Structure 1
Amino acid sequence: MTTRELLAPARWCTTAGRAQPLGASHVPGGVNFALHASGASAVRLVLMAAADGAPVAELPFPESGRFGTLFTVTVHGLDPGRFHYGYRVEYTSGGLSPVLLDPYATELAGAGEWGERPRYRCAVPAGDFDWGEDRPPGIPQDELIVYETHVRGYTRHASSAVTSPGTYAGLREKIPYLRGLGVNCVELLPLFEFDETDNTYVSPTTGEPLRNFWGYNSVGFFAPKAGYAADTGPGGPARELKGLVKALHAAGIAVILDVVYNHTAEGDHRGPTLSLRGLDESAYYLLDDQGRPVNLTATGNTVNCNHPVTRALILDSLRHWATEYRVDGFRFDMAAVLTRGSDGLTLSDPPLVEAIARDPALAHCVLVAEATDAAGAYQVGSFPAYGRWSEWNMRYRDAIRRFLLGRPGSAGEFATRLVGSPDLYPGRGATPSVNYITCHDGLTLADWTSYDRRHNEANGEDGRDGIPDEESWNCGHEGPTDDPAVLLLRARQARNALLLLLASQGVPMLLAGDEFGRTQHGNNNAYGQDSPLGWVDWDRRASHAGLLDFTRRAIALRKAHPALRRTAHPDGDGRPAAPCPPVSWHGEEPWQPDWSSGSTLLAAMLCEERDDGPADCVYLAVNSGGSGRTVRLPEPPPDLRWHVFADTGSPAHQNGHEVGEEPVCSRTHWQLAAHASLLLVAGPAGRGAGP
């Protein structure tokens, strides 16, 4: 077919279209297309064969369908099942763009099999999804227990034993496991369409290209990652992802998406022109005086989030996922970029952040900010909240690690984190603090106990990438060992960390696989490791069964005790008639805490009054030092006895006990081993023999 034939509209019936909604939408008798293209003198709709992407026609948008910088056209009689599409822009300054993707495309075809270089084109989804009686779980934020995982990495390993490894469907098969563990919210690493072949590094051992495994390089803000779907037919990825969300909801599990609006896959001036750059670069990206992309994200470009056009795009995207996919919240990667103005400077009252907080369609959604960016912005505790935003609390991560390693000054710092970081969130309560020890970015929990330094050689960057110092400790030997003393200490430290996390005020987040000792062999930046190094090895459930039982029981403990999940920060000012204050601090002797710089002992009693019975009360004591310590236990509330949930330094109690089956504690003093934690719960006597 000649160029003249391609451009000839004779066989197509087109009229001026509707300006809303943007993107492609079904209308009676055809399909409507609408897009924003600043600096365009004309726009063409490029139609391609759905079967192979071969060009079919280029149809000009009629001048009568232009409204300002919006171009519209309705193509009558168009069968979206037979055709894919893109746009080509003629610029007023001269020149013609390559075929561009629709920023509002809800399905991107042409990605091919996972690992193949994509040839993207836009598709118009047909049909709808039957949500049945689906309802959001509606879990109060103080009751959330978040589980961060990667759709592909969670079930790609052969040990996952699922029918469709590495897919939305594979993750769906793991819902019974998630229910059994007790988590009630999954946080999924990016699943907007991305190009996994976009990685310039190769494996130093095989020479094979590494993948962009994590997916922090969005190609489109509305389309699900097709390579995560077992159903590869038209509309398959959307159906499969919606089926996953529906099944998780039916199991009482909420869904949070890790979303990347701070940068895109177009990179800097050397990167591809896929979509936004060719439509309105100065609106969508921060540019310097020479018109080059400003790089505040260490990825090549920075999205101009608070430009009105871009702000509308991001809000429309969030509404799409909240309504079409019914997700329950979002974690915003490098959210500090969302607070920057078009000059790149931080705004005190960023319009986008406020608009997200106030948007009616997002009112049910959890909003979590990673309150930093790659250009030095650090807004932990100061991210504009508008009464809605929570934060990944990096101060918590650092404090719990330093305390468990016995660093100077760490006991007092962690005590503040334990009660929900009131210094960071004064007057806001504990739930804005999303607490974590580990996440996808960094060492796993097992590796935090096994390595003093990063081991990133497999990333092809000479081991220089990733966080240089993670406040980790190898417990006496770097990497794998069969030394029983080292293994015992590592097991103890892992349990200490999980116990403290699940006993802390705020919202706890666990990294998938930490509950059974997942390792990346010291790699703390596995973004390119689409390999067993980056996948969850489910065989470790057998070798770390005790740790898995401990985690499950600690989650159940948190759910059973309101004293561990308050909305308000507990303090020492209880009611005069109360049996004990909301929090009290202790040391080797009750009511005598050690706040010295060298302190390695932290003990707290957390109590919550109840109208329908005795106070809910737990006692936590942690010895982060290298020698044993003896603590005298404070008196529990009247008519109650202490029961032992766990002592991570005791063979009898190291894996914890089932809730309601904790043995009675008959001692007045407790010997805490080195690097060990004790948690007691107050309850009536008679639930078992005392230790």
Structure 2
Amino acid sequence: MDRTVPLLRNLHRALPGLLGPILTESGIHFSLVSEHATAVELCLFDSAACEKESQRIPLTKDADSIWSVHVPNRKAGCLYGYRVHGPYRPAEGHRFNPSKLLLDPYAKALGRTLQWHEALWSVPSGAADQPDQPPDTQDSAPYAPLGKVVDSAFDWEDDRPPAIPWDETVIYETHVKGMTRQHPGIPEALRGTYAGLASEPVIEHLTQLGVTTVELLPVHQVADEYPLYKNGLSNYWGYNPLLFFAPDIRLSRRDAPDPAAEFRQMVKTLHRAGIEVILDMVFNHTAESDLNGPTLSFRGIDNALYYRADPPERDTDFSGCGNTFNLHHLRVRQLVVDTLRYWVDEMHVDGFRLDLAVTLGRGPESFEPEGHFLRDIQKDPVLSKVKWIAEPWDLGPKGYQLSHFPHSWAEWNDRYGQIVRQFWRGDASQAASLMQRVSGSRDLFGSNNRPVHSTLNYVTSHDGFTLEDLVTYEHKYNEANGENNEDGSNDNHSCNYGVEGPSDDPALNALRRQQKRNLMATLLLSAGTPMISGGDEIGRTQKGNNNAYCQDNPISWYDWHLNEEQKHFLEFTRSLIQLRKTHSFNHATFEWFDAAGAAIDPHGPQPADAPFQECLMTSVSADQSPALLILWNRGESDCDFTLPGEPSTWQVWMDTAHPHSVDQTSSGKPLKFHRVSGRSLTVCIAGTSPVLSENRD
């Protein structure tokens, strides 16, 4: 698409939403929003090596606080930044400092990376709380990041969104670099990149596994926190945004002239394979950290506009990262909506997961389910049609808001993973909660008549232990993060089954593998939207690190050299996903029984000593799908089950106590009674099923 437009007066009004740099027939139109600035200067650089701008051009302010200028004879590739003048009055929230070169929030590409230097701070580090501290006057231009003007033309050919219905969605959360960095089948130059994620070996893995949607950890341009830089680490996960519009150049090929084009090709290739792309976006805070952090962009453009503060001289911190982006302000919401529209319109992504989404929905006092930002999304003709996932909490007052997001959204249900972990670990009195979680968490989402897909179920995610580590460690081992092992959660609901860490004991390792099968099977047999944490299907370990956000190394990267047990678990996971595709779990009726076949009311009395606290039976029935029977035994001893109906009804399809079995335990013989081994789960299917037939071929 040719994004070059004719030169028009007030171009931002003629093309609403198109702030930032816009290529015209005769040059580039630049614009920036600042309500409280007294002057704005555009700074143009001849190359990334230049320590000083070659040209300063003043911008003109209009009635809407938009500063703009048209620069003739400039083309794509132009490097630039801004200097913004205004009052430096921290008590009023103003921290203007024209000695600091600032990054354009609407820049579509990073033209030069950040280089840490004391000149990036508007006040000496640690002095921001001193009201009489004058602003630092060192010029930050030699060290500041630069924006780059890019031409967004790209041949999408016949690209179309896969448009997977929510009820058929199986999400695979992954990191572009982590998944591809060590894959032996990917050409070395492509490992760790967008192109690597679109390579044939990765596409083959995803399609054979059967997932429908990849959810990528942040791919917008990030900056490393200064403490990480000092410790020789980096923000690997990417939850520290510097530019919302620009794909992270760390994830592009070194020789790639345009990271955005490489990203677009990745999306196009995944779409051709029928795979959706959802992006994890971070709008709750920015890389400028707290007031003792650097001045890189928003703080210098208009601190009082872009950040929440109470009182004005002190940033509000609902994110735990030092600042809170002020989506209560119309201009900030416009920036976020423009960003999201850009990723859909120009990059063809299929949806978003919003990090700490409660922050984005906060009004003046607290979270507002019908607030401005959420209404903006619902009313937008483009954004209302893509998938939305909320992380339904933040660190502010009343920050836990599970089930309170819009009707069509999915929400990370942390209660699901907690209960599933506790049940299989053997914690007391978890049966009632398990029944609710497996049946779609209607106790949480049903009161608002939310669809079953609203509960996004996960046992593990990027944040915490991997599945392998969940059954291997009872304690975290985060020393490599440089925070004295004080970071990361201590409440992991994990179990090592007798030995902390890896073991050579065959019996112990067999139990751990069995518990992994139990956890994965529970996830994929539950109503809701399942999310697999990428790498769990091949036994990925982080050696007990449950907060590997800064580990851009083999701690986080997938190891693709699989042993036989890992290959078996991969096949086990694939078979469960295939079963899910042939059974309508989100339209099914879940009925619960004890081992003798007596009905259990999930909402009724749940005595701690009731036998069903150890052994449960679930009937799963839906139109046009063969009935399923799931037999749960989380106790250590075997349990005998009486199966409902006629003996000819049920055939065992899978038993987690048998390491490599899917449809190998019953040999097609009908069952009336079945013994389930301790700490295991059995799935029976009524009559003949496409899944039974497929697995026997």
Q: Same fold (TM over 0.5)?
A: yes
Match of 1:677 in 2: 681
Aligned length: 639
**1:111 shift after superposition:** 2.6
Q: Distance in 2 between matches of 1:682 and 1:67?
A: 70
Q: Distance in 2 between matches of 1:606 and 1:16?
A: 63
Amino acid at match of 1:354: R
How big is each residue's C-alpha offset from its partner over 1:337-379, in whole Å with a ceiling of 9 and x where there is no partner?
0121245x33353110121122111122111100011235444
**1:68 shift after superposition:** 3.6
How big is each residue's C-alpha offset from its partner over 1:110-159, in whole Å with a ceiling of 9 and x where there is no partner?
1399xxx9852111112511100000001000100000001111112265
Match of 2:19 in 1: 22
Q: Distance in 2 between matches of 1:609 and 1:501?
A: 22
Match of 2:182 in 1: 157
Q: Distance in 1 between matches of 2:99 and 2:34?
A: 11
- Counterpart of 2:328 (choices 281, 285, 306) is 306
Q: Distance in 1 between matches of 2:687 and 2:143?
A: 60
Query: Residues 162 and 276 of structure 2 are in contact (CA less than 8 Å); yes or no, is this contact kept in structure 1?
Result: yes
Q: Distance in 1 between matches of 2:519 and 2:301?
A: 49
Match of 1:597 in 2: 608
**1:687 shift after superposition:** 6.0
Residues 527/59 of structure 1: CA separation in 2 closer, same or farther (3 Å cut) = same
Worse-matched range after superposition: 441-450 or 190-199: 190-199
Note if 1:187 corresponds to 2:215.
yes
Q: Distance in 2 between matches of 1:542 and 1:464?
A: 36
Q: Distance in 1 between matches of 2:434 and 2:158?
A: 44
Match of 1:110 in 2: 112
Note if 1:224 corresponds to 2:247.
yes
Match of 1:424 in 2: 444
Match of 2:193 in 1: 167
Alignment of 1:404-423 (within 5 A): 404-423=424-443
Match of 2:62 in 1: 66
**1:593 shift after superposition:** 3.9
Q: Distance in 1 between matches of 2:21 and 2:673?
A: 70
Amino acid at match of 2:439: V
- Counterpart of 1:471 (choices 476, 486, 493) is 493
**1:15 shift after superposition:** 10
Alignment of 1:235-384 (within 5 A): 236-342=258-364, 345-375=366-396, 377-384=398-405
Q: Distance in 2 between matches of 1:201 and 1:36?
A: 31
Q: Please state whether the residue corresponding to 1:283 is helix, strand or coil.
A: helix
Query: Residues 467 and 516 of structure 2 are in contact (CA less than 8 Å); yes or no, is this contact kept in structure 1?
Result: yes
Match of 1:39 in 2: 36
Match of 1:586 in 2: 593
How big is each residue's C-alpha offset from its partner over 1:282-323, in whole Å with a ceiling of 9 and x where there is no partner?
221111215121111111101111211111111111101011
Match of 1:85 in 2: 80
- Counterpart of 2:409 (choices 389, 392, 400) is 389
Q: Distance in 2 between matches of 1:52 and 1:89?
A: 22
Instruction: Return the TM-score normalized by structure 1.
Output: 0.88
Q: Distance in 1 between matches of 2:57 and 2:555?
A: 50
Residues 352/97 of structure 1: CA separation in 2 closer, same or farther (3 Å cut) = farther
**1:196 shift after superposition:** 3.6
Query: Residues 422 and 429 of structure 1 are in contact (CA less than 8 Å); yes or no, is this contact kept in structure 2?
Result: no
Residues 689/213 of structure 1: CA separation in 2 closer, same or farther (3 Å cut) = closer
**1:233 shift after superposition:** 4.2
Q: Distance in 2 between matches of 1:95 and 1:534?
A: 39
Q: Distance in 2 between matches of 1:662 and 1:44?
A: 76
Match of 2:126 in 1: none
How big is each residue's C-alpha offset from its partner over 1:562-612, in whole Å with a ceiling of 9 and x where there is no partner?
2x232xxx5xxxxxxxxxxx22211211234494324122210111123xx
Residues 689/55 of structure 1: CA separation in 2 closer, same or farther (3 Å cut) = closer
Query: Residues 331 and 369 of structure 1 are in contact (CA less than 8 Å); yes or no, is this contact kept in structure 2?
Result: yes
Query: Residues 558 and 565 of structure 1 are in contact (CA less than 8 Å); yes or no, is this contact kept in structure 2?
Result: no
Amino acid at match of 1:189: L
Residues 533/287 of structure 1: CA separation in 2 closer, same or farther (3 Å cut) = same
**1:542 shift after superposition:** 4.5
Q: Please state whether the residue corresponding to 1:526 is helix, strand or coil.
A: coil
Amino acid at match of 2:405: P
Residues 478/632 of structure 1: CA separation in 2 closer, same or farther (3 Å cut) = same
How big is each residue's C-alpha offset from its partner over 1:366-405, in whole Å with a ceiling of 9 and x where there is no partner?
11100011235444433231x2221001111111111111
Q: Please state whether the residue corresponding to 1:465 is helix, strand or coil.
A: coil
Q: Please state whether the residue corresponding to 2:81 is helix, strand or coil.
A: strand
Q: Distance in 1 between matches of 2:48 and 2:236?
A: 27
**1:455 shift after superposition:** 1.4
Q: Distance in 2 between matches of 1:17 and 1:57?
A: 26
Alignment of 1:438-477 (within 5 A): 438-477=460-499
Q: Distance in 2 between matches of 1:53 and 1:290?
A: 36
Amino acid at match of 2:80: Y
Instruction: Tell me the C-alpha RMSD between the 2 structures.
Output: 2.5
Q: Percent same amino acid among aligned pairs?
A: 37
Q: Distance in 2 between matches of 1:542 and 1:50?
A: 53
Q: Distance in 2 between matches of 1:409 and 1:28?
A: 70
**1:198 shift after superposition:** 4.2
Q: Please state whether the residue corresponding to 2:513 is helix, strand or coil.
A: helix
Query: Residues 15 and 74 of structure 1 are in contact (CA less than 8 Å); yes or no, is this contact kept in structure 2?
Result: no
Q: Please state whether the residue corresponding to 2:246 is helix, strand or coil.
A: coil
Query: Residues 17 and 73 of structure 1 are in contact (CA less than 8 Å); yes or no, is this contact kept in structure 2?
Result: no
- Counterpart of 2:72 (choices 58, 63, 76) is 76
Residues 259/665 of structure 1: CA separation in 2 closer, same or farther (3 Å cut) = farther
Residues 319/15 of structure 1: CA separation in 2 closer, same or farther (3 Å cut) = closer
**1:431 shift after superposition:** 0.6
Query: Residues 369 and 404 of structure 2 are in contact (CA less than 8 Å); yes or no, is this contact kept in structure 1?
Result: no
Alignment of 1:613-632 (within 5 A): 616-632=626-642
Q: Distance in 1 between matches of 2:694 and 2:377?
A: 52
Q: Distance in 2 between matches of 1:159 and 1:600?
A: 44
Match of 2:121 in 1: none
Alignment of 1:1-12 (within 5 A): none
Q: Distance in 2 between matches of 1:666 and 1:78?
A: 77
- Counterpart of 1:141 (choices 137, 145, 166) is 166
Q: Distance in 2 between matches of 1:378 and 1:617?
A: 40
Amino acid at match of 2:195: A
Residues 162/680 of structure 1: CA separation in 2 closer, same or farther (3 Å cut) = farther
Amino acid at match of 1:556: Q
Query: Residues 101 and 144 of structure 2 are in contact (CA less than 8 Å); yes or no, is this contact kept in structure 1?
Result: no
Amino acid at match of 2:688: P
Q: Distance in 1 between matches of 2:677 and 2:561?
A: 30
Query: Residues 169 and 212 of structure 2 are in contact (CA less than 8 Å); yes or no, is this contact kept in structure 1?
Result: yes
Match of 2:620 in 1: 606
**1:641 shift after superposition:** 3.2
Residues 334/597 of structure 1: CA separation in 2 closer, same or farther (3 Å cut) = same
Match of 1:215 in 2: 238
**1:619 shift after superposition:** 0.6
Amino acid at match of 2:267: V
Query: Residues 102 and 144 of structure 2 are in contact (CA less than 8 Å); yes or no, is this contact kept in structure 1?
Result: no
How big is each residue's C-alpha offset from its partner over 1:161-206, in whole Å with a ceiling of 9 and x where there is no partner?
443111111111111111111111000000110024644377xxxx
Q: Distance in 2 between matches of 1:498 and 1:90?
A: 56
Worse-matched range after superposition: 367-376 or 211-220: 367-376
Match of 1:577 in 2: none
- Counterpart of 1:667 (choices 644, 665, 671) is 671
Residues 689/565 of structure 1: CA separation in 2 closer, same or farther (3 Å cut) = closer
Q: Please state whether the residue corresponding to 2:434 is helix, strand or coil.
A: helix
Residues 540/375 of structure 1: CA separation in 2 closer, same or farther (3 Å cut) = farther
Q: Distance in 2 between matches of 1:119 and 1:33?
A: 19
**1:423 shift after superposition:** 0.9
**1:500 shift after superposition:** 0.9
Query: Residues 445 and 494 of structure 1 are in contact (CA less than 8 Å); yes or no, is this contact kept in structure 2?
Result: yes
Query: Residues 45 and 86 of structure 1 are in contact (CA less than 8 Å); yes or no, is this contact kept in structure 2?
Result: yes
Amino acid at match of 1:106: K
